[in-house]
A and B are shown apart, each in its own frame.
Chain A
Amino acid sequence: MANRVAIIGVGQTFHTSKRPDVCIPELCNEAVRAALEDAELTIKDIDAIVVGNMELFEGRYHQDLWQVDYVGSYHKPGFRVTTGGTTGGTLPCTAFFCAASGVFDVVMAVTFEKQGEGDSRAALKTVADPIWDRWISTGAIGTFARLGSWYMKESGATEEHAALVRLKADKNACLNPYAHLKLNLKTVEDVLRSEMLVPPLRKLDMCPTSEGACAIIVASEQKAKKLSKKPVWVKDWVEVHNEARYNRGDPVSLENLEKAALTIYRRNGITNPRRDISVAEIYEPATWAELVWYEAYHFCEKGEAFRLVEKGITEREGEFPVNPSGGVIATNPIGATGMIRVAEAALQIRGDAGAHQVSREVKRTFTTAWGGSSWTVAHLLSKSVD
């Protein structure tokens, strides 16, 4: 039986499209110092450090080597984890594994992306298999456009519903000091005026390319109780991977998302997610993904997600807040994005999220990360240890 673990500190940088004032290790250092300050610890209290990002975006490799001074891993154990778009979701899991195993008491996870240093779309294409289909691969925008047109046909949702998701994201992001895009959008028309990329996907339906970093500090039960006034307990986590080539004819691949959510629900007695979870912070790179994935995560019945949005159920002050931080549509430093979900959820449980804190009591949170081939990582955090 593994030890129980808790998150005892979180830190993130502000986000923007370009940070010429810092090199990559310096960017990470900002998040590390913020997390240490939040936990009221010094680097001496950290036993091991795990780092990661989705490589390719900066053209710099073996980043763990260059980060040593800056993340405080000098003469300390640790390793680098990189699982593509899910890196930010996998990295907290890695820290949880380290602390739960009993090998380390206090573990820090640090992740970042600095997308302004490269050509993100060319970098993403290098993920494709060079022997097989790199020659004919396309980008991410088409994927989410397809998701949108498929969903409109399946459910009867309209572009206005996607616009409502964008409005919610912006309203929340404007309250979040760390968020990237803060556009002060007022109406559905403000969103629908945005440039069309691939119908029905508009520029504002898609996440930005951001630079930023995030760090969290994880401790074993004994240490967490000793070191922290407000430990956030990690109840469960799951990573769902599939084979990369999904030539199965499905226009939309939701299998992994559903599997991740249902595994967490089953293992933790969650029978009605909207009742049993207080806040969700999900990885949604596009408005249409947020809608479709509500259904994949069983937040509602199939074909009903747009009704939730219509009724404001997932607003910050709604019955079931989703992404009170403004989410990925407002801020996407790819390698850090998944971990920001976890950090934001921990702040919501502690009541420390600030202006974008939900007013209801937050007992349990559900967080996800998502990446290539629809890989999905999910975590369940809790206010109480039991």
Chain B
Amino acid sequence: MDKKASPEYLGTPNLLNLPFNWSAGPYLGKWLTELRDNGKLWASRCPKCQRLLLPPRIICGICQVRAPEWPDWVQLSGKGKLIEWEKVVAPQMNPSTGKIEPEPYIHGNILLDEGVTFQHYLEEQDETKLKKGARVKMVLKPRHQREGLVTDILYFRLVQE
């Protein structure tokens, strides 16, 4: 077939739209339950290298040793300092809904006081007010709005200390 004689290339829309039920397992499941029901943030500690694992998981990927189960976890204060942040300005599609997410928003990398980093949204939308090392604290959704997801944490708020 002469390609030049057929300039119209056809195709078809293809919508991937499938529901899933993902099992969180006992570690992450307990972590999410504690966040939702008690507003508590936990990490587990590797018995060998002593680093904190956030979210808690069954094994330390570096030492390959089993990490303790709840309640032998470390409760985190939800306070820390801002290491870095990025302002997301390009519109992005949420692959769970197909909807374009509101932008811009600011996403921060936070070093919690217990010595483990955590990434989440920042409340402050004015970049000029952000400083490396600034103190931040976790803000949760009200209890009745929490669904047992990491988004039960609303964002981290700049605080004066």
Interface residues of A (CB under 8 A from B): 20-21, 59-60, 119, 121-123, 125-126, 130-136, 138-139, 141-142, 145-146, 150, 197-198, 242-243, 245, 247-249, 251
Contacts and interface: CB of A to CB of B under 8 A. Distances in A.
Contacts of B118: 247
Interface of B: 3, 9, 11, 14, 16, 20, 22, 24, 28, 32, 51, 54-55, 57, 61-62, 83-84, 86-90, 92-96, 98, 107, 109, 111, 115-121, 149-151
Contact of B22 (A59, A131, A141, A249): A131
Contact of A126 (B9, B95, B111): B95
A119 B91 CA distance: 11
Contacts of A249: 83, 111, 115-117
A242 B11 CA distance: 39
B24 A139 contact: no
Contacts, number: 89
Given A133-B119, A135-B149, A245 B55 contact: yes
Given A130-B20, A136-B121, 14 more contacts: A121-B93, A135-B96, A136-B107, A136-B119, A136-B120, A136-B151, A139-B88, A142-B107, A145-B86, A197-B90, A247-B116, A247-B117, A249-B83, A251-B83
Given A138-B88, A146-B84, A249-B83, A243 B150 contact: no
Contacts of B96: 130, 134-135
A130 B116 CA distance: 21
Contact of B61 (A59, A123, A243): A243
Contact of B94 (A20, A122, A132): A122
Nearest to B155: A136
A134 B95 CA distance: 9
B24 A198 contact: no
A119 B93 contact: yes
Contact of A146 (B61, B86, B94, B150): B86
A139 B51 contact: no
Given A122-B93, A142-B86, A145-B86, A136 B61 contact: no
A138 B95 contact: no
A135 B88 contact: no
B83 A125 contact: no
23 contacts: A20-B9, A20-B11, A59-B14, A119-B93, A122-B92, A122-B94, A122-B95, A122-B98, A125-B95, A130-B22, A130-B96, A136-B120, A136-B121, A138-B86, A138-B88, A197-B90, A243-B62, A245-B54, A247-B116, A247-B118, A248-B51, A249-B83, A249-B111
A197 B89 contact: yes
A125 to B, nearest CB: 5
Contacts of B151: 135-136
Given A59-B14, A59-B16, A146-B84, A139 B92 contact: yes
